[in-house]
Amino acid sequence: MSARAVSEAAAHRALADAENHAFWLDDARRPAARAALTGPQTGDLVVVGGGFTGLWTALLAKEREPGRDVVVLEADRIAWGATGRNGGFCSASLTHGEENGRSRFPEEYEQLARFGQENLDEIEATLTRYGIDCGFIRSGELTVATEPYQVQSLREGDGEFLDAEAVQAQIHSPTYLAGCWDRRGTALVDPARLAWGLATACESLGVRIAENTTVLGIHKDGAGLKIDLPEGEMRCRQVALGTNVFRPLLRRLRNHVVPVYDYVLVTEPLSPQQQAAIGWDQQQGVGDSANQFHYYRMTADHRILWGGYDAIYRFGGQVRSSYENRPETFEKLSEHFFTTFPQLDGLRFTHRWAGAIDTSTRFCAFQGTAYNGNLSYSIGYTGLGVGASRWGAQVMLDLLDGEPTARTQLQLTRTKPLPFPPEPLAWIGIQATRASLARADRNDGRRNLWLRALDRVGLGFDS
């Protein structure tokens, strides 16, 4: 999207007071840290990672088998990683959208779509059952066209097509040419409060949760596994890995995901006059149709969360806190925001932050096992983990149980994405892909030879 209508000075002023901190975690309701795990310990199932994947795994494991001794080990704090840094879009899609799903899994896409809708329904039911207050609202997602060539694809997509007049009746932006509103396929949540609520629900069933407990290694130990901890060790029967983008504890996975940094802004609360100037009464999540896309939504206190577009991969695939502050990306996002909503000129941003997305080459998660089936994993969500993490947890538990299910028989779960090449080829390839995607956005979506070659071999990169 062009930012020529907005001066760099105006975008800079809007960011002047923004804190470098994730909005969702800046909440007085954040629970106190739980104690670390020390000394020799035992358990039936140890879940590594206190994000969505780990918490759903622990909760579902206890629901399946109440007598199972389940322990969650989190290296930092619950929701500290991607779980507390995303936009709060809880999507029914398990395949990163219809187009990606149909192209990669054409014979089973309809089944995957049904499973995805059922998964979202079950998430909603779980929140009701445990009384988890996380601002869950099933308002759907509005995909908007900001270039003429994007309009036809929205006509052909799932959901309710909105022409220019109809989309402007929903949200007022001079950049919108059309829209497609999927009313049931996406819910909005406060992701940190969702994670904190899941942790409380887990503990109500008897799950033990330890924070600030880093897993240093996993080894075979007779018929089970041994986990090395900074202060002691833990022996268990089974392990479920929900480590997301962080260095996998299995060497075989280390080239199957790369960390891509996604950057986000949140505004101060809108005044009633500013709210009236943009409409947006239905509170839908919004995403535009470009390859380098923006996603945005309204929060419960009438702020606008604005993220996406400038996905950044760093050479070597490292995850570092220093990568979370990238002023040039925040400035770019600010310019794009006011191009989309010029009527909000003068609005300030209060928070800016970044998080690392665990990107796989097929844009969606994959699962598998190790140690003779005593360990399972689910990684590679590529930005859709808020909802798909529950699905991944179900698959991990199915695999640990060892009995075939409808989930484990799918091609989606029986196959792995192609790995990323080693450096420097990974960095060169990803930069070439980003440049090609940006060029396609400037040229009516036309994909060049490089992108078409990646399509043919099943490689991708989340932009």
Give 305-332 pLDDT, tens digit per residue. 999 999 999 999 999 999 999 999 999 9
pLDDT tens, position by position, 97-152? 888 999 899 999 999 999 999 999 999 999 999 999 999 999 999 999 999 999 99
pTM comes to: 0.95
Give the least confident one: 6-15, 222-231, 293-302, 377-386.
Answer: 6-15
Predicted local confidence at residue 2, as pLDDT:
44
Note the residue count of the chain: 463
Residue 188, pLDDT above cutoff 50: yes
What does the alpha-carbon distance between residue 123 and residue 191 come to, in Å, rounded to a whole number? 13
Nearest Cα residue to 249 out of 257, 166, 391: 257
Q: What is the pLDDT of residues 339-378, one digit of tens each?
A: 999 999 999 999 999 999 999 999 999 999 999 999 999 9
Beta bridge partners of 19: 351
Sort 452 into a burial class: Cβ within 10 Å, 0-12 / 13-18 / 19+: exposed
pLDDT tens track for 41-84? 999 999 999 999 999 999 999 999 999 999 999 999 999 999 99
Q: What is the pLDDT of residue 7?
A: 67
pLDDT band at 165 (very low <50, low <70, confident <90, very high): very high
Q: Name the nearest CA neighbour of 91 among 61, 123, 59, 58.
A: 123
**Can you give the pLDDT at residue 248?**
83
How far is 121 from 129, CA to CA, in rounded Å?
A: 12
> What's the mean pLDDT when you consider all of the chain?
94
